[in-house]
Structure 1
C-alpha cells in the first residue's frame, strides 16, 4: 500500500469515529435519562457537549499543526478521543458524562481537519473527486449504521456500550497512525498563538451554537436571539481582528477563492437544510400523518441507496463536467424531493414518499460530494491546514443552521397555522433555499475548473 493510501485510510477511520460518536448517543437518551433521572433538555447536552468541543477546537488545529506537526496533533487527538470515550462510558452522573463528551469532542475536532489536510496534500487535483466520494461514503454509512447499532447495544448490554463500542476501532486507528503517519507540508508562516483571536472566535462559536440550541430546544426566542446576536458580533470582531494581526488563527484571505466560498455556501443550503427538513418531516409524518417511527425511519433506506449512486456519479464525472451541472442537478433534485413531501396526504408509506427521500438523497449527495471536490482545488498545500479548519467549521455550523432555521420558521408558522399547513410551508421554504446554489453556480468559471482537473489527469 502506498504512503498516501495509508494516510487516506487513517483519515477515513478518524472521520468515521467522529461521525459515529456524533450520531450514536441520541438513541441512548431514554436509557440515560432513566438511569440518571435527567430531563430531555439536560440530555440534549450529551450531543451539544460533543458538538461544542468538536467545533471550538477546530480553529486551533492549523496553529497546532504548524507548531508541533500534523503527526503529533493527530496522535494526541486520538488519545484525547479514547480518554473521553472511555470516561463517558464510565460516567457516574450526567455532569460527568457531558464533561467527558466535551473532551471526546475536542479529540474528534482535531482528527478531521488535520487528517483531511494531510490527505489532500498528497492527492493531485484530478484525483480528489474520487477521494471526496470515499469521504462522503463514510459520511453516509456512519449516520445510517449508528442508530441501529446503538439500539442493539442498549437492548443486549447497556447504554454505556454506545460509547465503549468505538474503542477497538479508535485503538486500531491510533496504532496505524503511529506506524504510518508523517508530518505533511508546513506553512512558512511563523508566529505566536493569537490568544485574542482564539478567545473571541471560540466564544463567538459557542454563543452561536448555544443560540441555535435555544431555538431548537426548550429555550425561548429572546434568549436564543441574544445568544445568536452576541455570537455573530464576536465573530465579526474576530474577523476584523484577524485581518489586523500578523499571525491570525487562520487567514480569511482563503475566502477570496470563489470555489471555496461557493462550496461553503452549497453546504449551508443543501446538506444543512436537509438536516432541518429531516427533523420537520419526522414531526409531520408521525404527528400529522400517523406514520410509525419504524416506517419513518425506514425512509432513510431509499435516501441512502440514492446517495450511494450520487457518489459514484460525482467520482466518475466531476473532472469532465465540472461543478456547475452537478450542482444544478443536485439542487433541483433535492428541491423537488422536498416539494414532493407536500403532496403526501395519507398515513401509509407510499411510492411518492419513497421517491421524495430518494430524490433528496440523490440531489443532496450530488451537491455535497461536488462541493467537497471543488473546495480545495485552488488551495496551496501549505495552506491546507487553515483551509481544512475553515471548511470543517462551516460544515459543522451548516448542520446546526439548517435545523435552527427551519425549527424557528416552523415555530413562527405554528402560531398562525395548524401543524400540517405550517409543515408544508416550511418544506416550501426549504425547497426554495435548496436551489440557491444552482443560481450561484452560474457565477463560477466552470470551464476553468474542468481545465484544472483534466489537464493534470493528462499529465499524470
Structure 2
C-alpha cells in the first residue's frame, strides 16, 4: 500500500493508465466486507499500469513484434510434426483407421492454403496488430477446441479453424517484421527465425511421443494454448498499431479462384500419397486445381487491385528467394518425415529415441545460423552460401541412404547435423533477401506469396517422399530381408537429396549485388559480432 500511495502522490504522465483512487472505492463500498480486498486489487491495477507504462517506454517495437511473431511461428511449425505422432492414438480413441484420421492434417493444410492469399489484404485492411493478434487468438482457440474434441468430425473442423489462424498470423507477422527491421539487420533476424523453423519440427516428435506415451494425445493440441495466450497478452500490452494505406475492396474473384484452386491442389497432393496418385478423385482435384490457378493468373492480370500481385514475380531476387526456400523445404521437411519413420520401423528405435535423434538437425541449424549470420554471410554473400547449403543438405540426406539395420544412431545424428548446417545456410539468406528489394507498401502482398511457397514446399515434400515409401515398401518392413526392407527408405533419402542438388541452379541465379543492402552490417550487429 505504501508503494501505491507513493504513486498516487506523483504526477501522472499524459499517456499513463488512468488512476482509480482507492479512497473513492472505500466511500462507495463502505460497510461491505469486500472493500479491503477490492481496494488492494485497485491498488495493484494502478501499480501494474504505472509499471507497464515504464516498461513499454524501454521496449523496442522491433523486439515486441519479433517476440509475438516468433511465438506464433513456433506454434505453427511445431504443429507440422507433433500431430503426426499422435494420429494412431487419436484413431484408437475415436475407433477409426489411421488413414481416416489423416483428414485432420488435410483440413489444416487446406485451410492454410485457402486463406494465405487473402492474409495480406486482411493485414492492410484492419491493421497489422489486430490481424496478427486476432489470428493468434483464432489459432489458440482452434488448438483448445481440438484438445476437447469428442469425435473425428469435430476434430477436423477445429483443425481447420487452426489452419485459418495459421494462414493469417505468419504472413502478417512477417510483413510487420520486415517493415520494422531494415535490410542490414535481417540476416541476424533470419537466423533467429531459422532456428525456430528447425527446432519446431525436431521437437515435435519428442513432445508428441512423450504426450501420447505418458499422458494423452490431447496435449499435442493443448501445448499451444499457453504459448498463444502469452503471445496475445504480450501483444495486447506492448504492440503498437501497425497501419498501411487502405488496400481497397477485396478482389473477390481472385480470392475465390485462389481459394478453390489452392485448396483443390493441396487436397490432391495430400491425399495422393495415401490413396494413390492414379485415384480418379486425386487426379480430378489436381487437374481442377491447376485449371483454376491458370484462370487466377488470367483474372489477376486484368484487375486494378489484384489479390495476388503477379508483378512481384518480376522481382528477380524475391522470386529466387521464394523458390529457393520452397525447394529446400521439400528436401528438409520431407527428409525429416522419412527420418522419423526410418528410425522407428527400420532401425527399431523408440519414438523417444527417434525424436531425440532428430534434434541433431536443430543443433546443426543453431551452429550454422551463428556461422552464417555472424561470419559467412557478409563475406561470401547469399549466392555462394545458398549453393553450398544445398550441397550440404544433399550430402546429409545421401549419407542416410547408406545406413543399415546395424547402423549406430550416432551416424544418423551426424548426418542430421550436416543436414541442419545446410538448412541454416539456405534458409537464413533466403529469408533475409526475400524482401530486400520490395517496398514497404508491397511487403503485405509479398509476404503471403513467400509463406505460400514455404507451406507448399513442406506439403509437397511430405507427399512426395510418402509416395516413394508407399510405392516401394514391401508387405512387411521387418520381414528379415534387410535389403528389401531398407530400399524404400534409401530411395526416399536419395530423392530428397536429388531435389536439393537439383535446386542449385536457382541459388546460382541470385545476384549478390541486388542483395547488397542485407550485406551491410548495421552498427548494432557489428558491435555484437
Aligned residue number for residue 174 of structure 2: 116
Aligned residue number for residue 421 of structure 2: 362
- Note if 1:195 corresponds to 2:195: no
Shift of 1:455: 4.8
- Note if 1:453 corresponds to 2:511: no
Query: For 1:255-270, what aligned pairs fall within 5 Å after superposition?
Result: 255-270=313-328
The 1:251–1:409 alpha-carbon spacing in structure 2 relative to 1, beyond 3 Å, is same
Residue 387 (structure 2) aligned to one of 311, 315, 328? 328
Q: Which structure has the larger Rg over C-alpha atoms?
A: 2
Report the more deviating stretch, 390-399 or 134-143.
134-143
Report the more deviating stretch, 65-74 or 391-400.
65-74
- Note if 1:230 corresponds to 2:296: no
Residue 508 (structure 2) aligned to one of 423, 429, 442? 442
Shift of 1:414: 6.0
Aligned residue number for residue 496 of structure 2: 430
Shift of 1:411: 4.7
Q: 2:466 & 2:354 partners in 1: Cα distance?
A: 19
8 Å Cα contact 1:121-1:184 kept in structure 2: no
Q: Which 5+ residue runs of structure 2 have no aligned equivalent?
A: 1-58, 475-482
Q: 2:220 & 2:492 partners in 1: Cα distance?
A: 34
Aligned residue number for residue 189 of structure 2: 131
Residue 234 (structure 2) aligned to one of 160, 176, 179? 176
Aligned residue number for residue 117 of structure 2: 59
Q: Which 5+ residue runs of structure 1 have no aligned equivalent?
A: none
Q: 1:36 & 1:409 partners in 2: Cα distance?
A: 29
Aligned residue number for residue 239 of structure 1: 297
Shift of 1:87: 1.8
The 1:456–1:145 alpha-carbon spacing in structure 2 relative to 1, beyond 3 Å, is closer
8 Å Cα contact 2:205-2:355 kept in structure 1: no
8 Å Cα contact 2:195-2:362 kept in structure 1: no
Aligned residue number for residue 204 of structure 1: 261
Report the more deviating stretch, 355-364 or 322-331.
355-364
Query: For 1:39-188, what aligned pairs fall within 5 Å after superposition?
Result: 39-184=97-242, 186-187=244-245
Shift of 1:281: 4.2
Q: 2:105 & 2:92 partners in 1: Cα distance?
A: 17
**3-state DSSP of counterpart to 1:299:** helix
Shift of 1:410: 4.8
The 1:378–1:185 alpha-carbon spacing in structure 2 relative to 1, beyond 3 Å, is farther
8 Å Cα contact 1:327-1:437 kept in structure 2: no
**TM-score (normalizing by structure 2):** 0.80
Residue 213 (structure 1) aligned to one of 244, 266, 270? 270
**3-state DSSP of counterpart to 2:301:** helix
8 Å Cα contact 1:291-1:349 kept in structure 2: no
Q: 1:324 & 1:158 partners in 2: Cα distance?
A: 46
| Structure 1 residue ranges (4+ consecutive) displaced by more than 6 angstroms after TM superposition | none
**3-state DSSP of counterpart to 1:263:** helix
Shift of 1:422: 4.6
1:267-305 deviation digits (Å, cap 9, x = unpaired): 232221222233344555555555555544443132221
**3-state DSSP of counterpart to 1:217:** helix
1:306-344 deviation digits (Å, cap 9, x = unpaired): 111111122113233210121121111111112212322
Aligned residue number for residue 404 of structure 2: 345
1:30-53 deviation digits (Å, cap 9, x = unpaired): 222222112111211222222222
Report the more deviating stretch, 152-161 or 268-277.
152-161
Q: 2:319 & 2:249 partners in 1: Cα distance?
A: 28
Q: 1:291 & 1:150 partners in 2: Cα distance?
A: 15
Equivalences, count: 457
**3-state DSSP of counterpart to 1:435:** helix
Aligned residue number for residue 457 of structure 2: 398
Alignment RMSD: 2.5
Q: 1:433 & 1:27 partners in 2: Cα distance?
A: 26
The 1:242–1:347 alpha-carbon spacing in structure 2 relative to 1, beyond 3 Å, is same
Query: For 1:224-303, what aligned pairs fall within 5 Å after superposition?
Result: 224-284=282-342, 286-288=344-346, 293-303=351-361
